[in-house]
A and B are shown apart, each in its own frame.
Chain A
Amino acid sequence: MSTLVLLTLTGLGLGALYFLIASGLSFIFGLMDVLNFAHGALVTAGAYAAWRLTGHLPFALAVAVAIVTGAGLAALIETVLIRPLYSRPKDQILVTVGLGLALPALVQGIWGADARQLQPPRQLAGTVSLLGAKVPTDRFLLIAAALVVLAALKLFLSRTRYGLVVRAGVEDRAMVTALGIDVRKAFTLVFAIGGALAGLAGALGGVYFGSVSPGQGTSLLVFGFVVVVIGGMGRTDGVALAAAAVGLIQQFTNYYAASGLGDFAAVAILAVVLLTRGNRDGIQRLIRRAA
């Protein structure tokens, strides 16, 4: 029983990280048709921002800086590099892939290739006893953060005008502009929100893994894409469920089958989803975009 509880909460914690990464990716692709391969670099940027400041600033403030770093970088990337390339998808992919390689390389150049230990505050370092299991406290933080983000995203999408523009833009971007709306502002906003969540994922990922490393964001990004494809483009609930499912399947497979098999299981689930069920529009768009 205690193993089950521990695996479930650890899986959900990992799923929470995936959700933070995938929800941004999903809206960026749903609205703008941009496959943002630089998203993992934003996670890394957030992770290093949190790592640099932990110990100097209160942890919450370090996380806030990580969020702002992600949002600022994302907004900069969108306005300077992506915006001129909206009608040139292949060049766009080259730019985001390039950034996805260059930014972690820059981080590696400055702080080295080795993982750096991130010392979380004492309140997060311990464990909580739950149904006989000693569950690391940070798992609860991750799950709570993902739930807050999920609720906030849903409120943003359902209650604000920009949320309405984003939902409509995911359906038919051209028609949104034909109603007299400057959809580019929504693009920048969605990129910034995605970046903020990536920054948050970076900081919390540092806590979850206990360290930060230059390639951490890129490794997480792979599963972010898996979650987006399973959950659906621009679907918050779908992405949340898919993230939880992928996190749980990975943890349980790693424990009950063989360590390392969890990654394979996630990709296998992706294959099954691709082969068997709907969301074909989104997947076809994704494949067309990548081709």
Chain B
Amino acid sequence: MILELDDVRVTLGGSQILQGVSFTVAPTGVTALLGRNGVGKTTTVKAILGLVSRTGRIAFAGTPVQRLRTHEIVRQGIGYAPEDRCVFAKLTVAENLTLAERRGADHAYDLVYELFPELKARGAQAVGTLSGGQQQMVAIARTLLNDNRLLVVDEPTKGLAPKVVTEVAEVLERAAERVPMLLVEQNLALVRRLAGDAVVLAAGQVVHRGPVRDLLGDAALTRELLGVGKAA
């Protein structure tokens, strides 16, 4: 397993957001982290990266990382594309990418510019002036630049137009061929297309684990766990 969470708990502002989350991420393919709004998916991702204080055990490629600080965890080989992208709006595209370069690693600009030719053309443009889809591409490009052993991608298609969603899906599919991925996503069509395994959270706990096709193939289960009328 590339990533293992065991009894991870997070308390924010007095309320317990994660109440003992345990799951694993397979060393290949895409593992989808699913659940209704507000169940703790993003908090789980932040807990993995040490962006919120948490208890419990987290192991990355067999190494415990729960005591490490965020930059140390990331340097173990994790690429993170956060919810809402968190690109640096006042910096140019090229500067956003330069900042993501980690020392001692080869930087896969060839791959990035092959997947996102637009980013090369817009290198000198401030990221804040790009469209939402283009900003998402910068966020994903940052994760692909380094030789990562896991990508953590949080809601990459949120707020994007359908055409852009398709483009992002294609890129994620390409990325997933190279490196395992933990994907938080509400778009079930995309989950079905990309992910092999699913982990479902409800009220800060894991309530379901298993193959995506079993979950989404069962309309009643999907409705119960994800609150949607029908599986996409």
B partners with A:
yes
A: residues with CB less than 8 A from B are 161, 164-165, 167-168, 171-172, 174-183
User: How far, in angstroms, from A180 to B71 measured CA to CA in the complex?
Assistant: 4
User: How far, in angstroms, from A182 to B70 measured CA to CA in the complex?
Assistant: 9
Please give me the 7 A-B residue pairs with the lowest Cβ-Cβ distance, nearest first.
A180-B74, A177-B70, A175-B86, A180-B75, A168-B88, A177-B71, A171-B88
Q: Which of B40-87 contact A (CB under 8 A)?
A: 49, 51, 69-71, 74-75, 80, 82, 86
Q: Which of B6-14, B96-104, B172-180 lies on the face that meets chain A?
A: B96-104
In the complex, which residue of chain B has the Cβ closest to the Cβ of A172?
B86
User: How far, in angstroms, from A181 to B86 measured CA to CA in the complex?
Assistant: 15
How far, in Å, is B227 (CB) from chain A's closest CB?
A: 29
How far, in Å, is B102 (CB) from chain A's closest CB?
A: 5
Please tell me if the beta carbons of B89 and A178 are within 8 angstroms of each other in the complex: no
How far, in Å, is A153 (CB) from chain B's closest CB?
A: 16
Number of A-B residue pairs at CB separation under 8 A: 57
Give 26 pairs: A residue, B residue, CB < 8 Å, sorted on A: A164-B91, A164-B98, A167-B95, A168-B88, A168-B99, A171-B89, A172-B86, A174-B86, A175-B86, A175-B88, A177-B51, A177-B69, A177-B70, A177-B71, A177-B74, A178-B51, A178-B82, A179-B99, A179-B102, A179-B142, A180-B74, A180-B102, A181-B71, A182-B69, A182-B71, A183-B71
In the complex, which residue of chain B has the Cβ closest to the Cβ of A87?
B53
How far, in Å, is A37 (CB) from chain B's closest CB?
A: 28
- Which residues of chain B have C-beta atoms less than 8 A from A165's C-beta? 99
Please tell me if the beta carbons of A167 and B82 are within 8 angstroms of each other in the complex: no
Q: Given A165-B99, A178-B80, A179-B99, is A171 in contact with B71 using a C-beta cutoff of 8 Å? A: no
In the complex, which residue of chain A has the Cβ closest to the Cβ of B80?
A178
Residue in A175, A176, A180 whose Cβ sees the most chain B Cβ within 10 Å = A180
